[in-house]
Amino acid sequence: MKNIMGRKIGMTQIFKEDGSVVPVTVVEAGPLVVVQKKTVEIDGYNAIQVGFQDIKEQRINKPMKGHFNKGNVAYKKYLKEFKVENPDEYEIGQEIKADVFAEGDLVDVIGVSKGKGTQGVIKRHGFGRGRESHGSKFHRAPGGMSAGTYPGRVFKGHRMMGRMGNERVTVQNLEVVRVDVDKNLILIKGAIPGPKKGIVTIKETVKK
């Protein structure tokens, strides 16, 4: 399965040859560096660990320094594992660039959504509101929670006010519109999770 990490730059639009306009999200994808290989014999599964974005030496602790020095690779800010069928196809220090994907590929994008703090049920769940007239006394309240006598409690999972956003989100079946290998850019049709400069993972879609 093809995978890559990237940083969300923002949204724009591009024109196709037929003149149609396509909204796209620009992702700075890689380059990633292979930091470690994991095998079934030693770790119980096949995977590679990759690093993304350089970081100053004074910003990482001694255990992480030893981890990078063991593979003789540059210090990286973000580490992630990708499962692979054959780790021997990769070498420690090898770079993985945006060209793992091509125009027309379908991908899933994983990111952390924007945090919106504590919100009420209207903004968080799309509840309807009450009348705004003076005597109604019901404007943005959540309404009934449960029956009184039985069950006499609020069921777990009931939609109520609370923290909104700041959670892992996967958007599936997005199309890769363009790949710029020289600038390490992947242009993906539509919106993807997270704020600008947020870290995202792009992988081959599981639902074709």
Give the C-alpha distances (Å, rounded to integers) separating 28 from 136, 198, 206. 52, 10, 22
Provide the CA 8 distance to its chain's centre, in angstroms: 9
Task: Say if CB 101 and CB 4 are below 8 A apart.
Answer: yes
Q: Is the pLDDT of residue 1 over 80?
A: no
Range 3-107+175-201 classified under CATH 3.30.160.810: yes
As a whole number, mean pLDDT of residues 8-37 equals: 92
pLDDT of res. 158:
94
- Residue bearing tokens 């710029």: 180
User: Where does the pLDDT of residue 28 fall: very low under 50, low under 70, confident under 90, or very high at 90 and above?
Assistant: very high
- Residue 79 CB contacts under 8 Å (≥ 6 apart), including other chains: 35, 49, 50, 51, 52
Q: Where in the chain is the domain with CATH 3.30.160.810?
A: 3-107+175-201
41-93 residue pLDDT tens: 998 999 999 999 999 999 999 999 999 999 899 999 999 999 998 888 889 98
pLDDT above 90: residue 16 = no
E-only strand ranges, 63-120: 76-83, 95-96, 106-112, 117-119
**Looking at the DSSP assignment, which residues form a beta bridge with residue 52?**
78
Residue 148 has pLDDT above 90, yes or no: no
